Amino acid sequence: MVMDIACTCASKTLLKEVFQSLNAQSCPKNYNFHMHTVCSDGKMHPSELMQQAINVGLKGLAITDHHTTSGYQAAQKWLEDWKYSNPGIDTPYLWSGIEINANLKNVEVHILGYAFEPQHPTIQPYVQRQVVTGCEYEAVNVIAAIHEAGGLAVLAHPGRYKKTFFELIPAAAELGIDGVESFYAYNNPKPWKPSPMQSQQVQQLAIEYELYSTCGTDSHGLSLLERL
């Protein structure tokens, strides 16, 4: 348990450093922090996703399946085996990840968790492959659970909800969220590219509220380089 805590802390420290360096060009070929596998609503198996991440040349990534970490855990095992069979070859850094539905200002939002300990007790209600209810559904408690498990909490695609990010980001910041997904492609362009106007506005709010800006393709299909 002590080793798990130490590893989680080191992982989070590294992730903070990466988040501080991200910009609109970081995704999808250097970093990607929003991807799904067949363990939730994606089309790729964790092994396929990881092989593609290596082929793309990603430096780091997180699998953020909905309400489960099984995709991340399968990918982690695959990556360890791959590194053993391919010594001396650079591989991406894989952080733990998850996407959790939550209530924020009476709107359902998605909160991404990163670099947390998957076996921590506070995370267990959120890894049952279904949306939670009651107090555990409240954003303040989702954020707290991720923090208690040693991780970082990020508001996913803040421009996709029934309230504007001008309302939601300050509210999330007040609850202690660590970052926002500033660089996101809202109109699903091909090739993938962050939506310029929304990204600029969200990034400005992130700076104002001292939050990290993250990036991800939100891949659900057969390519990490696009959303669908």
Q: Each residue of 28-67: pLDDT tens digit?
A: 999 999 999 999 999 999 999 999 999 999 999 999 999 9
Q: What pLDDT, on a 0 to 100 scale, did the predictor assign at position 4?
A: 64
**CA gap 216, 209 in Å, rounded:** 21
CA 215-138-212 angle, to 5 degrees, is 25
Residue 88: which domain range?
Answer: 2-215
Token readout for 39 is 């363990």
pLDDT in tens, 171-215: 999 999 999 999 999 998 999 999 999 999 999 999 999 999 999
Q: What pLDDT, on a 0 to 100 scale, did the predictor assign at position 6?
A: 61
> CB-based contacts of 13: which residues, under 8 Å, 6+ apart?
none
**156 part of a folded domain:** yes
pLDDT value at 3 more than 60: no
**223 part of a folded domain:** no
Token readout for 227 is 């959303």
**228 part of a folded domain:** no
Q: Is-contact 55 211, C-beta < 8 A?
A: no
Partners of 154 in the β-ladder: 112, 179
Biggest CA pair distance of the chain: 50
**226 part of a folded domain:** no
**CA gap 37, 53 in Å, rounded:** 13
**221 part of a folded domain:** no
**166 part of a folded domain:** yes
Question: How many C-beta neighbours within 10 Å does residue 96 have?
Answer: 25
Q: Which residue has the tokens 């959790």?
A: 100
Q: What pLDDT, on a 0 to 100 scale, did the predictor assign at position 155?
A: 99
CATH number for the domain harbouring residue 168: 3.20.20.140
The structure's pTM equals 0.96
What are the angstrom distances between the C-alpha of 189 and each of 29, 41, 171?
16, 20, 29
**50 part of a folded domain:** yes
Indicate the number of domains in the chain.
1
**225 part of a folded domain:** no
